[in-house]
A and B are shown apart, each in its own frame.
Chain A
Amino acid sequence: MLTSVLAASGDCIKILDLDGRIQFINEEGYKLLEATDPMTLRAKLWIDLWPNEPTATAALAAARAGRDAHFSGSAPTFRGSLRQWDVRVKPVLSTAGVVMQILVVSRDITEQHRLSEQRTLLASELEHRIKNLLAMVAAIAQQTIRAPATIKEAADRFAARVQALGRAQSILTRTNWTSADIRVVVDGALEPLRVPGSNVPFEIDGPLVALPANRALNLVLALHELATNAAKYGALSCAEGRVRLHWRTTAERMLIFEWQESGGPTVTIPARTGFGSKLLQRVLAAEFDGRVRIDYASTGVTFMLTAPLDRVAHGATV
């Protein structure tokens, strides 16, 4: 009866003598310890199974003195793989109340431990991302109010920029925050401006290029600024206007990305440098380690980004 109970348990169950030597171990127990057979453990000092766990010594001493002990710690198996254990150490008392033996029940909690560590890591990663995102929102707010505008205009511009940031977040969430294909980034950024079911007024063309998260995010913000400007003064301000988005990679491993407007009203060079142009010239160029050129030709605005492809992703977490 007792043997079958012990055999049915998923825990590692051991009985020790008062010297702390293993007298008995159940079948599951020696399997968990990755020992070839129970004899490997016979008469071994239990404490030797815990090379890095001083609490095991204290637990054994407590049980010898007639008290229950409980600890969790890590110990290697006989094959050397490190496992996490939840351990109960109990004295086995005679009818007269004398400690006769010591019962040790160890539960393998490696998996739970790993999951909980992963959760902690995810939570801190998430906090970092949220804080950075809030810092970006604060940065966008400060940049937005620098431009001369009514409070209403500034509020609308700010909301639109935060929405662009939101679209970038959705794109990156889908790809687990590692990288995103440039086509997905472009489509996501332009989505609110497109005629449903078609590309109009855009003409989009280019190969697959994986962009690291920080670059993808900044490209969405940059395209939002270009599109906003085009909707106000450029090709997107009239029905005939078109924007051609084209990118290619060169033999020298460079990415050349172009935004080319046509069919809009005659272009005039803007009188002041706003956030849009700073975002393109300074922020986007820096995040891509590249160069940005904006050309205000009278027939339509052209924006061109030239950046090296093989520079290892900046590694920046966004």
Chain B
Amino acid sequence: MPALKIRPPTVLVVEDDALIRLVATELVEDLGFAVFEVPSADDALAMLELHEEITIVFTDIHMPGSINGLELASLTHQRWPAVGFVIVSGEHRTEPGQIPPGAQFFSKPYSPEVISATLLQMATEAAGAAAAAG
């Protein structure tokens, strides 16, 4: 029997601007994580339904579609409370209570280094929680 392989954390990148999405996706890939990318919060919800392995959502706020990134975060938190959130935006100031507990907010343009460190830390915490639960 082959040894069980530990699955890498899976991140969903949600960003409407394709260039910024490309860079965000590569930032996640460079960490050795698996990644999905979508251009809207609506597509993100559909992706979350399909892929239970998504552990972190890395999302913009202002995007075309029926919901924005903040609404995506609160809907996701209600249905899948274990999913971590990294939220970035150029125009929104977030007030306490607008982002679900445990989510992190950064304003655009963000520091790739800080985002990488945050994703790594979230992935480690998620893995720890999963190990404790299982």
Binding site for B on A (CB under 8 A): 124, 127-128, 130-132, 134-140, 142-143, 146, 214, 218, 221, 278-279, 282-284, 286-287, 314-318
Question: A259 to B14, alpha carbons, bound, how many Å?
Answer: 31
Instruction: Verify A128–B23 contact, CB threshold 8 A.
Output: no
Main secondary structure of the interface of B (DSSP, over half): loop
Question: A132 to B110, alpha carbons, bound, how many Å?
Answer: 11
A136-B20 CB under 8 A given contacts A128-B90, A314-B64, A315-B64: yes
Considering the complex, which residues of chain B in the window 25-45 have a beta carbon less than 8 Å from any beta carbon of chain A? 26, 39
The 7 lowest CB-CB distance pairs between A and B, nearest first, are A131-B90, A315-B64, A286-B18, A139-B23, A128-B91, A283-B18, A135-B109
Binding site for A on B (CB under 8 A): 16-23, 26, 39, 62-64, 90-91, 107-110, 112
7 further A-B contacts with Cβ under 8 Å, apart from A127-B90, A139-B20, are A136-B19, A138-B112, A142-B23, A218-B18, A282-B18, A314-B16, A316-B16
A136-B62 CB under 8 A given contacts A128-B90, A131-B91, A143-B23: no
Smallest CB gap from A317: residue in B: B62
Q: Which residues of B contact A316 (CB under 8 A)?
A: 16-17, 63-64
**Among the interface residues A137, A286, A318, which one has the most CB atoms of the partner chain B within 10 A?**
A286
Question: A138 to B111, alpha carbons, bound, how many Å?
Answer: 9
Question: A299 to B21, alpha carbons, bound, how many Å?
Answer: 34
Can you give 8 A-B contacts (C-beta < 8 A)? A131-B109, A134-B108, A136-B19, A138-B109, A139-B22, A221-B19, A283-B22, A316-B16
Instruction: Verify B108–A286 contact, CB threshold 8 A.
Output: no
Question: A315 to B107, alpha carbons, bound, how many Å?
Answer: 21
Contact of A128 among B18, B26, B62, B112 (CB under 8 A): B62
Question: A196 to B90, alpha carbons, bound, how many Å?
Answer: 39
Shortest distance in angstroms between A272's beta carbon and chain B's nearest beta carbon?
Answer: 15
Question: A282 to B17, alpha carbons, bound, how many Å?
Answer: 11
**Among the interface residues B17, B21, B26, B110, which one has the most CB atoms of the partner chain A within 10 A?**
B17
A135-B18 CB under 8 A given contacts A128-B91, A286-B39: no
Contact of A132 among B23, B26, B90, B112 (CB under 8 A): B90
Smallest CB gap from A134: residue in B: B109
Q: Which residues of A contact B91 (CB under 8 A)?
A: 124, 127-128, 131
Smallest CB gap from B90: residue in A: A131
Shortest distance in angstroms between A211's beta carbon and chain B's nearest beta carbon?
Answer: 15
Shortest distance in angstroms between B95's beta carbon and chain A's nearest beta carbon?
Answer: 16
Q: Which residues of A contact B90 (CB under 8 A)?
A: 127-128, 130-132, 134-135
Smallest CB gap from A214: residue in B: B17
Question: A135 to B20, alpha carbons, bound, how many Å?
Answer: 7
